[in-house]
Amino acid sequence: LITSNGPYGHDIMAAEWTHHVSYKPGLIAVCINPNDATHANISKTKEFGVNLCAYEQNVISSISGGNSGKSVNKIKALKELGVKFFKAKKIDVLMVEDSALQIECRLIKKIKLGDHTTFVGEVVEAYPPSNKEPLIYHNQKYWKLGDNIPKPSQKEIEKIKSVVEKHKK
């Protein structure tokens, strides 16, 4: 969930294309359609919040992704449904309470790529991760994390190392 504030007021949108792209400095990229209210908000204010939905927050994701901030005050609608927000510490946006992760970003680069714009933000504040499981969106359905898949056995790891070593350039 990307939170912003600007010409369309406080807004929230679901953004499937959100990527952590650097550790030092901490950078996050979000890809947003130029027709979205969030695009106008970030372009104007040069800041945005990233909130990773917890698996029980699928209603937030559905409202945020299924409506435009140009025609719906999604923040007010979500508040009426019991969703809680808090003011970010270092930027002028709202953050989603009880989400799996919350990060505040200041824009450092805006790149037009195809039919979307990639906004790259530097992390200026990161809240301690909660113990909430993240919501997963795939194939137009919501999922939660399933079973842990074990790593290869020590025997398999040794074989992999041997094969890789044999094919080094």
Q: Each residue of 8-44: pLDDT tens digit?
A: 999 999 998 999 999 999 999 999 999 999 999 999 9
Nearest-CA neighbor of 52 among 90, 91, 5, 95? 95
For residue 5, what are the contacts with CB-CB under 8 A and spacing of at least 6? 11, 41, 45, 47, 92, 93, 94
pTM for the predicted model, two decimal places? 0.88
Asked whether the predicted pLDDT for residue 122 surpasses 90, the reply is yes
Indicate whether 88 pLDDT > 90: yes
Place of tokens 């680069």: 109
Average pLDDT of the residues of the chain: 94
The answer to whether 31 touches 70, Cβ cutoff 8 Å, is: no
Phi-psi category of residue 98: left, alpha or beta, with phi > 0 → left and psi -120 to 50 → alpha: left
Confidence class for position 146, pLDDT limits 50, 70, 90: confident
